């Protein structure tokens, strides 16, 4: 995510912030996420529990 943003704006700090705010549906380690206009990461929460020694949806 950060590397893609840096490459596209040539390491300018203000442009880095702008690019990160534009991220939508980025496929990361925790799944797809986006960044809103305030810089907050939007990532669905997935609650799970252990049942029969396996993780299942809560």
Give the tens place of pLDDT for each residue, 17-33. 888 888 899 888 888 99
pLDDT of residue 34: 93
Mean pLDDT, contiguous 10-residue spans, the chain (58 residues) = 72 80 87 90 89 93
Strand partners, 54: 51
Say whether pTM exceeds 0.85.
no
Mean pLDDT, rounded, of the chain: 85
Residue 23: closest CA among 10, 9, 12? 9
pLDDT of residue 10: 72
Distances (CA, A) of 55 to 21, 29, 49, 51: 33, 18, 5, 6
């Amino acid at each position: 995510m950060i590397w893609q943003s840096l490459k596209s704006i040539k390491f300018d700090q203000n442009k880095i912030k702008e690019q990160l705010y534009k991220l939508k549906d980025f496929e990361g380690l925790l799944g797809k996420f986006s960044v809103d206009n305030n810089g907050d990461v939007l990532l669905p929460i997935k609650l799970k529990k252990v049942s029969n020694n396996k993780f299942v949806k809560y």
